[in-house]
Chains A and B, each alone.
Chain A
Amino acid sequence: MLIKKAPDIRSSEITPKSVYLHRREFIQASAAALVAAGFPSLANPAEAQGGGLAKLPNVQKSPLSTSEAPSLYDHITSYNNFYEFAPGAGDGPKNNSKNFKPRPWKIKIDGLVNKPGEYDIDEFIKPYMLEERVYRMRCVEAWSFVIPWVGIPMAEVIKRVEPNAKAKFVEMTTLYDTGRFPMQRTDLLQWPYIEGLRLDEAQNPLTLLAVGIYGEVLPAQNGAPIRLVVPWKYGFKGVKSIVRIRFVENQPRNTWQIMAPQEYGFYANVNPNVDHPRWSQAREKRLPSFIPNRKTEMFNGYTEQVAHMYKDMDLRKNY
């Protein structure tokens, strides 16, 4: 006699092994989807990204881009720090920069270079090929985005202006204009904002002078018309709305180091092993997220491209 008895559990009811093995991610993803349903700001609509600003022409893709999915335009442009517009991270910079005009804009190259000069921003950018670089951006406040920048490699600019043998560092300065940057009327930070890189850091292929995101010109709150992007360093190294690039012999004093030297150094390399005195840097929130959802990577995941520059350095001291 043949007993045809259905097994207790039909094969269609068995959780596939791959899902079972990744059940935590599955639960997290489900929870995230649920949360996103209730919170429009966390949703991920599959629509073309941008803010309706001017499109940048002839943008080339770059092999240096990460394959990670870029964060939403709306998030990148409505959650960030830009103390010239508003104190603290949030949508203050966006709300307070609505009338900011990034033209006319001059940028000055000076210091220890053979070809100093002052350029109109559009003239300055013209000789270079625009590239799209999708980079991770890790803020010192333990949140991060993936941002599709458009810009020009800083190394190209340096080649053209020919720093002389004495030049060891590059110092970059934000516009000082209390009419355009309201917070510069307060003593919130020491103005203008200054950042610096060692010359070899500035020449690293990853270092970008960004003029856009998502194929459009930068919105004011993200540093229009031109800003620095150094993806293996904390976000505050990315000085915004630059008017001056100066080649110098001595290490510049950057703004956050001046404000709180025990908390912010010159190098500011992303490093999960060196805590900020007030919080851990081991994990981060890849926004949008309620909770820390990933481990922070050494040099923000750019070890291969940058670790050689810090070979013999104590990164605990040179934070």
Chain B
Amino acid sequence: MGDFNALTANPGDYITDQTGTWTITFLTIALAVTPLRRLTGSNELVKLRRMFGLFAFFYATLHLLTWIVFVNYFDIPSMIVDIGKRPFITVGMATFVILLTLAVTSNRFSVRKLGRRWQSLHRLVYVAGILAVVHFWWLVKADITLPRRWAFAIGSLLLFRLWWANRDRLSFRS
């Protein structure tokens, strides 16, 4: 990123794309922690999970800001209309609201305060992962290569969890 010419003549769009990509990257990394723990039996990664989640939130915030500034240049009425009118923006905004909620309740105090409800609440991260992929898929013009890759990555991680959760039941049956 040292080469500013890499930003192209349309740097706003470039930065918007990049911050979106980093959001979905950290979301995927955060979602990979539990499957990796199951597979390796190591608990080391779990210590980093919150940080991965907060990184995802950090980039989602930047991504939202790029949308506000570079795409809309603070045209608030137009942004409000777009959130209601354009499905990929609706879905993107929903993803942000989920990540915001999770970030705000990511501290120890909230974990203690919410008790068991904390875990239910934080399961919303799966929804955020799926919505992030849908958001990406719906915004591309023709080339679905990248959204398809993310769908595969996040889909595999979610399938692993499903399989793991039902593993005992499945093995009893066989």
Contacts and interface: CB of A to CB of B under 8 A. Distances in A.
Given A41-B4, A87-B143, A278-B139, A79 B9 contact: yes
Interface residues of B, number: 25
Contact of A188 (B10, B12, B143): B143
Contacts of B12: 285, 289-291
Interface stretch (A88-96, A103-111, A210-218): A88-96
B7 A189 contact: no
- Secondary structure at the B interface, as helix, strand, loop or mixed, is helix
B107 interface: no
B72 to A, nearest CB: 8
B55 interface: no
A291 B142 contact: no
B145 interface: yes
B148 to A, nearest CB: 12
Contact of B10 (A38, A83, A287): A287
A278 B142 contact: no
Nearest to A277: B86
A143 B69 contact: no
Interface string A284-299: 0101111110000000
Interface in B39-53: none
Nearest to B66: A290
B145 A87 contact: yes
Given A278-B86, A280-B78, A290-B70, A40 B4 contact: yes
A164 B77 CA distance: 52
A259 interface: yes
Given A39-B4, A278-B86, A279-B86, A88 B141 contact: yes
Given A38-B4, A41-B4, A87-B143, A290 B11 contact: yes
Interface in B54-113: 69-73, 78, 82, 86, 88
A38 B5 CA distance: 11
A274 B70 CA distance: 21
A41 B139 contact: no
A32 B59 CA distance: 25
A157 interface: no
Contacts of B88: 278
Interface in A132-166: 141, 143
A88 B86 CA distance: 21
Contacts of B145: 87
B8 interface: yes
A42 interface: yes
Given A188-B142, A290-B70, A41 B7 contact: yes
B62 to A, nearest CB: 14
Contacts of A189: 142
Interface string A2-43: 000000000000000000000000000000000000111110
B14 interface: yes
Interface in A35-55: 38-42
Contacts of B8: 41, 78-79, 90-91
B10 A291 contact: no
A244 interface: no
A293 to B, nearest CB: 8
A75 interface: yes
Interface string A89-130: 111000000000000000000000000000000000000000
Interface of B: 4-5, 7-14, 69-73, 78, 82, 86, 88, 138-139, 141-143, 145
Lowest 5 CB-CB distances: which A-B pairs, in order? A87-B143, A75-B9, A288-B9, A287-B9, A79-B9
Given A75-B9, A285-B10, 11 more contacts: A39-B7, A41-B7, A71-B9, A83-B142, A87-B142, A88-B143, A188-B142, A277-B86, A279-B86, A290-B69, A291-B70
